[in-house]
Amino acid sequence: MTEQVEIDDKPAGSESLPDATPAEAAEADASPAAETQPADAPVEGVSALPPEEIERLTGDIIAALKTVYDPEIPADIYELGLIYKIDINDDREIAVEMTLTAPGCPVAGEMPVWVENAVSAVPGVSGVTVTLTFDPPWDQTRMSDEARLALNMF
């Protein structure tokens, strides 16, 4: 992830860390990274994608995930709470971390492929990796109200 770093009008060597003690600030200013870091160097945790693009991709990915259903449950996997995490990198490669309702789910080998295919069809996505996890294990508290309503679980 990268982003242009704006340069302010502070004199060289006057930058300090927020909430840092003077000694910590001096140490940070004296570090080799602080002296040699170019203004356009990548900033950890900040995306080079514009926020509007991230928002569009996220919405389109969620819409795609809502087309995937567990064949034994009449609710989509997103509303069931089977999707734990969606990461979008600067190259528009998507990493999806998901689970199943149970480790012995009959479609355990197929559902990650369904997710990969659905997300891959989103315009602008350059690649998809789907990882299955059972930590933490899925339970009914992860379901949305929409899924609870569809399953009559109120």
Neighbours of 47 (CB within 10 A): 15
Q: Is the CB of residue 122 less than 8 Å from the CB of residue 58?
A: no
Residue 56 exposure: Cα atoms within 13 Å on the Cβ side: 10
Q: Is the CB of residue 99 less than 8 Å from the CB of residue 34?
A: no
* pLDDT value of position 148: 93
pLDDT (mean) for 96-105: 94
Report pLDDT digits (tens) over 39-52: 444 455 677 899 99
- Domain 51-150 falls in which CATH fold? GMP Synthetase; Chain A, domain 3 (3.30.300)
The pair of three-digit structure tokens given for residue 96, joined into one six-digit string: 């999806």
pLDDT (mean) for 100-110: 91
pLDDT (mean) for 26-44: 45
Residue extent(s) of CATH 3.30.300.130 domains in the chain: 51-150
